[in-house]
Amino acid sequence: MAAPVWLPYVLTAFLAVTIGIFLRRFTHIVRLLRAGKAKEKRWDHISERVDSFIVNGLLQKKVYRSIPVGILHSFIFWAFVILGASVVEITAQGYTPGWQIPVPAAFLYGPLYLAEEIIAVLAMIGIAMALVRRYVVRPKKLMHEGFLDATIVLMFILGIVTSLLLFNAAEHARGVIPAQYVAWKPISGFLADVSIVALNPDLFWWVFWAAHVGLLFSFLAYILYSKHSHIVFAIVNAFFINMEPKGAIKPIDLEKTETFGAQRVEQFSLRQLLDGFACTECGRCTDSCPANATGKPLDPMRLIVNMKDTLLEQGPAILAGKTDGLPNMFATVHPEEGIWACTTCYACVYECPVFNEHVPKIIDMRRHLVLMEGKMPPEAAETMRKIEQNYNPWGIGWDQRGKWAEGLGIPTMAENGGDVDYLFWVGCAGSFDERNRKVVAAFARLMQRAGVKFAILGSEEKCTGDPARRIGNEYLFQTMAKANVETLNARGVKKIVTACPHCFNTLKNEYPQFGGTYEVIHHSQLLAELLEQGKLTPKKPVAAKVTHHDSCYLGRYNDIYDEPRQVLEALPQIQTVEMTKCRDKGFCCGAGGARMWMEETIGEKVNHRRLSHVTETGAEIVATACPYCLIMMDDAAKTKNVDASLARADIAELLDRAV
């Protein structure tokens, strides 16, 4: 059957309309993204970004953190990539029958055709898996208003790959496929024998040609108006990933900035706004959120999705500069209660397959509330006051900071002139919390036994400012940071060891923003090194079953998982057991993000939920490597009446007992 003479004209009009609809929407979205006022440096480290684009964008590495979902998603994703060649070829045949996409060598046509057929079948399998997951398994994280839209998208894709196979089957039945390529299309060859195309191959060739081209370009026109814009933008996010340390919050120039934080979507950066269009609405972020899991009004996915919806809704006003009177983000994106509930554990960012950055947005929203509106939970305000007055959240006199070390023979930097291997940064918890004073004393004894030369700052040490920055009080954080950097530089400090992951993260990843660049290690790293070198030799048995709780600021933020376990495994007669949620899938203790200083009145307490993970293992001891985690585990054990059956200890205390 010859092509109708009018076909090229109709096809051209159809392509012009559908591609035009796509480009119009795409251009509008780009204009909205460029309306973001905050500036970020995302064009540096080009080679690393290209690597991320390939590994995370094309090869979908992060999607495979959930293997079943990763498999079904990769089938669908690669259908788009491989079938791109067939789209060009089949569409062009509306103008020039028999046209083939040019390839470097003729022998490549066969493998290309086989790949198209195989990937089409795999895509159908992936779609079937996705539909079963949505309509049979029905995980809570997928049960939202994007459910129907996702089904429409899946049906579009199913129609596209099915029409491709049937189109190829019609070609088989017509006998127009060159003989050397017939064997490379085995699936469509099978369909040619068993399907309806054999009844009238010429007619069905045109039917499925029209179906394939029509579905594909209709889908193109539809996609940016749907909740699946990630098909276009997610791969872009993989290029513009954050190349700064994960634990570093972007600083504010307090002298040049007039508006702090963000209360409107356009106050975010282009890259932050891009997250909304890259979001797959898979719900992994919310599913991993400890605040959400324990009944708090925080929904990380909703934060991202609502940000995009608000940007689209308010877009005309934003582009026209007429935003007065429009509701702010706390009304349209996420309520304040949820913003305060965040523990900044980083699980949402870590689990997101498209590199959305939830925590920095929450910090920016907190910054606005604190610095522009003077709002924060009353307990947090009291904590900030204590830091301002006594340089620590406990509010104990700053001159008492070194009292824990009395009688231990530990010099201060002022006393020995800085002739040390390490400055031991004790931190506020180690200095003022009665329980954690025992931890830093144990660690100090271990260093002394191993011959490590160290000193402390004593009363010269101040809070690093971590609680202030995470609560949104950037002004107080920078005050603390600059004062500490001045002291550290004046004392000639080069190497720092600390037992607090929050101090570790701040000193290592954030103090360089203020001229403080040091070699910073965590006490678990130093202890593991001393054990390996034979400078510490555990001899006394620790005959107990022990499970390790991973600190978020040590693990997800700084990728330190093995060293604490190496210390534990070196203890004689110890039996270690892992919790289900451990290592990079660990569950927060509830203290991060300055939450340790705020009341937890909604839902289950996060540390109580974490305690349940501990008790499930049957462990007799829960080991930590963070003073905040130790405090939270201690509190939970006492509150839940397992104080007698479950001991809580830092890894340094356990090692100190053994040596």
Q: Is 454 left (phi over 0), alpha (psi -120 to 50) or beta?
A: beta
Query: Residue 1's pLDDT band (boundaries 50, 70, 90)?
Result: low
pLDDT for 198-247, tens place per residue? 788 888 888 888 999 999 899 999 999 988 898 889 999 999 999 999 99
Distance CA 635, CA 124 (A): 52
Residue with tokens 């996915």: 301
Q: Which two tokens stand for residue 65?
A: 């953190």
In terms of Cα–Cα distance, which of 217, 237, 283, 200 is closest to 20? 217
pLDDT for 594-610, tens place per residue? 999 999 999 999 999 99
Over the chain, what is the mean pLDDT? 92
Contact 55/61 with Cβ under 8 angstroms?
Answer: yes
Query: Residue 2's pLDDT band (boundaries 50, 70, 90)?
Result: low
Distance CA 198, CA 34 (A): 53
**Mean pLDDT throughout 31-46?**
92
In terms of Cα–Cα distance, which of 287, 312, 313, 282 is closest to 299? 287
Q: Could you tell me the maximum CA-CA distance found in the chain, to the nearest angstrom?
A: 99
pLDDT for 603-656, tens place per residue? 999 999 999 999 999 999 999 999 999 999 999 999 999 999 999 999 999 999
Query: Residue 85's pLDDT band (boundaries 50, 70, 90)?
Result: low
The confidence score (pLDDT) of residue 82 equals 66
User: How many other C-beta atoms can be found within 10 angstroms of the C-beta atom of residue 199?
Assistant: 9
Cα–Cα distance list, 174 to 6, 111, 207 (Å): 23, 22, 14
The confidence score (pLDDT) of residue 185 equals 87
Q: Does residue 103 carry a pLDDT above 70?
A: no
The confidence score (pLDDT) of residue 109 equals 74
Identify the residue with better confidence: 277 or 56.
Answer: 277
Distance CA 536, CA 552 (A): 27
Number of H helices, E strands in the chain: 29, 8
User: How many other C-beta atoms can be found within 10 angstroms of the C-beta atom of residue 645?
Assistant: 10
Distance CA 228, CA 233 (A): 9
Least confident piece of the model among 31-45, 101-115, 543-557: 101-115
Query: Residue 77's pLDDT band (boundaries 50, 70, 90)?
Result: confident
205-218 burial, b at 16+ Cβ within 10 Å, e below that, comes to bbbbbbbbbbbbbb
Q: Does residue 525 carry a pLDDT above 90?
A: yes
Q: Does residue 76 carry a pLDDT above 80?
A: no
Q: Does residue 67 carry a pLDDT above 80?
A: no
Cα 33 from chain centroid (whole Å): 21
Distance CA 655, CA 538 (A): 7
**Mean pLDDT throughout 372-379?**
95
pTM higher than 0.85 = yes
Written as one letter, the residue type at 338 is: G
Cα 647 from chain centroid (whole Å): 32
Q: Show Cβ contacts of residue 653 under 8 Å, excluding neighbours closer than 6 positions.
A: 438, 439, 442
Query: Residue 284's pLDDT band (boundaries 50, 70, 90)?
Result: very high
Q: Does residue 4 carry a pLDDT above 80?
A: no
Rg (CA), the chain: 30
**Mean pLDDT throughout 17-35?**
96
The confidence score (pLDDT) of residue 522 equals 98
Distance CA 528, CA 551 (A): 17
DSSP of 231-264: HHHHHHHHHS---S-TTPPPP--TTT-SS-S-SS
**Mean pLDDT throughout 91-109?**
72
Q: Does residue 454 carry a pLDDT above 60?
A: yes
**Mean pLDDT throughout 26-47?**
93
SS3 labels along 291-350: HHHCCCCCCHHHHHHHHHHHHHHHHHHHHHCCCCCCCCHHHHCCCHHHHHHCCCCCHHHH
pLDDT for 386-437, tens place per residue? 999 999 999 999 999 999 999 999 999 998 877 899 999 999 999 999 999 9
Instruction: Say which CATH architecture domain 265-372 belongs to.
Output: Orthogonal Bundle (1.10)
Q: Does residue 64 carry a pLDDT above 80?
A: no
pLDDT for 291-302, tens place per residue? 999 999 999 999
Instruction: Say which CATH architecture domain 383-531 belongs to.
Output: 3-Layer(aba) Sandwich (3.40)
Contact 556/583 with Cβ under 8 angstroms?
Answer: no
**Which CATH code of 2.40.110.10, 3.50.50.60, 3.40.50.10700, 3.40.50.720 fits the domain covering 535-658?**
3.40.50.10700
Least confident piece of the model among 102-111, 249-258, 447-456: 102-111
In terms of Cα–Cα distance, which of 201, 204, 264, 273 is closest to 233? 273
Query: Residue 104's pLDDT band (boundaries 50, 70, 90)?
Result: low
Question: What whole-number percentage of the chain has pLDDT above 90?
Answer: 69
DSSP of 88-149: HHHHHTTTSTT-----SSGGGHHHHHHHHHHHHHHHHHHHHHHHHIIIII--GGG-STTHHH
Contact 429/468 with Cβ under 8 angstroms?
Answer: no
The confidence score (pLDDT) of residue 546 equals 98
Q: Which residues of the chain does CATH 1.10.1060.10 include? A: 265-372
Q: Does residue 310 carry a pLDDT above 70?
A: yes
Q: Which residues of the chain does CATH 3.40.50.10700 include? A: 535-658
The confidence score (pLDDT) of residue 114 equals 86
**Mean pLDDT throughout 115-144?**
83
312-346 burial, b at 16+ Cβ within 10 Å, e below that, comes to bebbeebeeeeeeeeebbbebbbebebbbbbbbbb
In terms of Cα–Cα distance, which of 277, 268, 275, 282 is closest to 241? 275
SS3 labels along 48-98: HHHHHHHHHHHCCHHHHHCHHHHHHHHHHHHHHHHHHHHHHHHHHCCCCCC
Least confident piece of the model among 67-76, 333-342, 454-463: 67-76
